[in-house]
Every structure is written in structure tokens, then in C-alpha cells.
Structure 1
Amino acid sequence: MDMSKLQEMLGQAQQMQSSMEQKMSQTVAEASSGGGLVTARVNGRKELLRLKIDPTALSASGSDVEMLEDLITAAINEAGRKADQQMQSASQDMLGGLDLNNLLG
């Protein structure tokens, strides 16, 4: 195996990691639950950026705190899944630019 090719590949991998970290902070996914009563927005790191609770959720839940907690949890989890999907797609696009044949050839 040619060491210069290996070093080139390592350099490409470091650039990809840096790009991925930037993409994670810029990626935003949003999801709602309860017919839009609760909306969560997260970034690619699954950090909660915003949580919006429609005021009617309080009257709709009839002071049922457990139901409101479930709606919040569902919205955050779905936003996290969407962020994962976006990040997976972005990483596949980036890996497509990595020339593995160059290393193996």
C-alpha cells in the first residue's frame, strides 16, 4: 500500500469529519405531535433548539400533565429521527466523494 495514498485518504477523512461537524450544527429538523399542539426543532446533534406548545394544548389536555409530557416527548423524538435521516443522507453524499478505489488500487 502506498503511504502517500494513505496519508491523502486520512487528510480527506479529517476534512469530511470537519464538514460533518459543521453540517450537524447547521442541520435543522422539526416535527410536531398532537395535530400540531406541540412542535420541536432540533439540530443534527439532536440538541433541542425550540419547543413550541400551542396554548390550546393546555385546554385540550384538560390539565392532564402526563398527556402533554407524552406529546412533548413524541415531538422531540420524531424531530431527532428526522435529524438522523438528514445526517445519514449527508454522510452518504460525503462518502460518495471519498475515493476508496484509490486507496485499494
Structure 2
Amino acid sequence: MNFSDLAKMKDVLGQAKQMQEQMERKLAETVVEASTGGGVVTVRMNGKKEVLRLRIEPSAIGSAGSDLELLEDLIAAAVNEAGRRVDETVKSSLSGMMGGLGLPDLPGLT
């Protein structure tokens, strides 16, 4: 390996670090929202899949109070849908960032 190869490797590693930092910022800034039951349950989640807010329509407490299992299912479905939306957003962001590098598709990201 000559000096030129080492310099290129250092540049590539520097670019990779910058991309990682950009992705971490993007994950922190990304916010998705998903609702179930016609808006009875709404979940807001960031790109790190942290639930930022869980909102349950007050009317659901009275009507779903008799069916707690239904309310639990709606909450689980909203959380899962928000997670899927985060995955889609991250995948889209990654493909945009990686596209400029000319790298082959990575398994699990396409």
C-alpha cells in the first residue's frame, strides 16, 4: 500500500464518519406519526424509535373502557405503524445519502 492509497482510505473513512454524524442528526430530527382506530390512538415517534407522545381520544376511554383489550390492540398497532414509518423514512434517507457513493445495495436496506 502506498501513500496515495492510505490518503484515499483516510478520505473515505472521514466521509463515512461525516455520513454517520449526518444520519444521527437526521434520526434525532425525524418525527413520524401514526394513528389507528380512525384517530382514536395516535403515536408520535422519532427516528430512533423513541415514543415521543401517545395520545388517546378521551371518548375512547369511555367506549373502550369496557373493552380494554381493544384499546391495547389499537395502541400496539399505532406503535408498530409508527415504527414502520421510521424504517421507511430512514431507508429513504440512507438510499439518498449512499447513492452518491456508488456502493452496492446493502442487504436489509432495499
Question: Do they superpose with TM above 0.5?
Answer: yes
Q: Which residue number in structure 2 is paired with residue 35 of structure 1?
A: 38
Does residue 70 (structure 1) correspond to residue 73 (structure 2)? The answer is yes
Matches of residues 71-86 of structure 1 in structure 2 within 5 Å?
71-86=74-89
Does residue 44 (structure 1) correspond to residue 50 (structure 2)? The answer is no
The two structures have a TM-score, normalised by structure 1, of: 0.88
Which amino acid counterpart does residue 64 of structure 1 have in structure 2? D
Structure 1 distance, partners of 2:67, 2:28, is: 35
Q: Which runs of 5+ in 1 are unaligned?
A: 101-105
Post-superposition offset of 1:98? 2.5
Q: Which runs of 5+ in 2 are unaligned?
A: 104-110
User: Larger RCO: Structure 1 or Structure 2 (Cα < 8 Å, ≥ 6 residues apart)?
Assistant: 1
Whether the 8 Å contact between 1:12 and 1:98 is mirrored in structure 2 is no
Post-superposition offset of 1:99? 5.4
**Following superposition, which runs of at least 4 residues in structure 1 exceed 2 angstroms of deviation?**
97-100
Which amino acid counterpart does residue 64 of structure 2 have in structure 1? S
Structure 1 distance, partners of 2:90, 2:25, is: 11
The two structures have a TM-score, normalised by structure 2, of: 0.85
